Amino acid sequence: MTGPGPKFGKSSLRGDQAVRRTARLLLWVTGVALGAVVAASPAAADMFTITGVAVDATADSALDAKAKAIGEGQAKAFAELLSRVVRAEDRPRVPQPDLETLQTVVAGYSIDNERTGPTEYLADLTVRFNAEAVELLLAQSDIKLAVEQAAPVLIVPIFWTGDRAVIWEADNPWRKVWNGLDLDNRLVPALLPLSDATDASVDAQGLITADPDVLSVLAGRYGVEYAFASLVAIDAKSGRVEGSITGEGPAGPMDLREFGQAEPGKEIEALTKVAGALLDRLDQEWRRAAANRPAEEQSQTIALGVPFANLQEWVGIRQRLESAPGVDSVDVRSLNPTGAQIVVTYKGGLQELAATLQAQGLQIYDNGASWELGIL
């Protein structure tokens, strides 16, 4: 970037049986909690749904082109899903599924903006994946999901034109690009400010330089812990695009940068790629921050079945579980007269949890089909 613009700132199990059971048990562990977890509801963000997958295929007929495009689109969506739910260092080990294998993890798809020709098919796909099937596929390569969704952050898009910053104006192309992205279904969901008069009263220069005090004002307004400035500029001569996300993150000061190249007339396309890359970097930083936290501070979740003889027994099991050291929460997903399905959030490792529950007179055991919690 040239010119006077702003500088982009800174159990009792033994032997092989224990190994097999531990491996199965790990399939239930969904990973460390990255910040406050978004309140779950039926309409909550679904990280296993990929939207806006553009497909374009040709074949001998329109029907064959459509089949080809949908297959390619599902593979493309799977690749995007991996960027969300698998750590970057694990992705090279992810098996590349063939079309038949891919069908075992795809729960369904829908089509928008369908256009057909005699031999061509174009459309935008939304692909929904089965989370458990994806987890099983990855487990075959000893890869665990990292999909515990963080609390939303605020991102303020700033477009630098060369002599001034466009922040709250309606013609901010950088904001339009961010508006077009899927900001909900990510490891780190993002909010955009309203760009109203209250936002516009915030010190513009402080936003450009990602001043922590200025960003904290907006963070407070939108009820988030973290707010970031995202500055982008396109060099008028070379077409070089430089974008950043800057601010205080969970591990301290954060300055993420991505670069791109804009061809004449395709500036928005280049900006979209840079914004997507920045979001991927943001997810990586959250994973890194969580991985660097002491194990005793990390939270994990495990799904368990709890069979019981009567309501009194259930109440006793739940009380023991909830009072166990290191257990943060017990979420009852379903309950009937003979059993419950629960998700337990706990700190530390799996061995620590097993020892803690044993001290409470409880044990995790294998019923042959799934893992259950019962009284010793």
Q: Read off the pLDDT of each residue in 6-31 and give the average, rounded to a whole number.
A: 34
Q: Do 55 and 70 belong to one domain?
A: yes
Looking at residue 240, its pLDDT comes to 95
In a domain, 148, yes or no: no
321 pLDDT higher than 80: yes
Average pLDDT (299-311) is 85
Q: Is the pLDDT of residue 45 over 70?
A: no
- The answer to whether 181 touches 165, Cβ cutoff 8 Å, is no
pLDDT of residue 290: 67
Residue 277 lies in a domain: yes
Q: How many domains does the chain have?
A: 3
> In the chain, count of helices (H) and strands (E)?
11, 14
Phi, psi of 335 (to 5 degrees): -145, 135
Question: In this structure, are 279 and 299 located in the same domain?
Answer: no
pLDDT for 40 equals: 29
For residue 97, name the pLDDT band (cuts at 50, 70, 90). confident
**163 and 285 co-located in one domain:** yes
**Per-residue pLDDT at 294:** 57
Q: Tell the residue number behind the tokens 């799904």, with chain if given.
A: 303
In a shared domain, residues 331 and 283: no
Write down the pLDDT at residue 337.
87
Judgement on whether residues 74 and 188 belong to the same structural domain of the protein: no
Pair (287, 349) in one structural domain: no
What pLDDT, on the 0 to 100 scale, is given for residue 1?
38
Band (pLDDT 50/70/90 cuts) for residue 120 is: very high
Inside any domain, residue 42 = no
CA distances 239 to 236, 245, 248, 268, 273, Å, are: 6, 20, 30, 12, 14
> Residue 213 belongs to what domain range?
153-291
Given a cut of 70, whether residue 309 has pLDDT beyond it is yes
Lowest mean pLDDT among 40-54, 94-108, 219-233: 40-54
- 62 within a domain of the structure (yes/no): yes
Q: Let me know if residue 93 belongs to a domain.
A: yes
Res. 42 pLDDT band, cuts 50 70 90? very low
Retrieve residue 15's tokens. 């032997």
pLDDT at 13 over 60: no
Instruction: Tell me the mean pLDDT in the region 20-48.
Output: 36
The reply to whether 249 and 327 lie within a common domain is no
Percent of the chain past pLDDT 90, that is, above it, reads 43
Residue ending a domain, among 291, 320, 337, is: 291
Q: Where residue 354 sits, what CATH number does that domain have? A: 3.30.70.100
Q: Do residues 129 and 241 both lie within one domain?
A: no
Top-ranked range on mean pLDDT: pick from 28-42, 148-162, 187-201: 187-201
Question: In this model, does residue 9 exceed pLDDT 60?
Answer: no
Residue 245 is assigned to a structural domain of this protein: yes
Query: Which amino acid, 284?
Result: Q
Q: Which residues are paired to 115 by β-bridges?
A: 122
For the chain, what's the residue count? 376
Residues near 257 by Cβ (< 8 Å), separated by ≥ 6? 8, 242, 243, 244
Q: What is the DSSP annotation of 52-101?
A: EEEEEEE-SSHHHHHHHHHHHHHHHHHHHHHHHHS-GGGGGGS----HHH
Give the pLDDT confidence score for residue 65 in this predicted structure: 93
pLDDT(369) > 70: no
Please tell me the pTM assigned to this model: 0.53
The stretch 208-221 carries a mean pLDDT of 94
List pLDDT tens digits, range 126-159: 999 887 788 878 877 888 776 667 789 999 999 9
**Average predicted confidence (pLDDT) for the chain:** 81
Residues 226 and 198 in one domain: yes
* Whether 101 and 163 share a structural domain: no
Predicted pLDDT at 298:
58
Structure tokens at 361: 């007179």
Is residue 68 assigned to a domain?
yes
Q: What is the DSSP letter of 251?
A: T
**Is residue 72 scored above 90 in pLDDT?**
yes
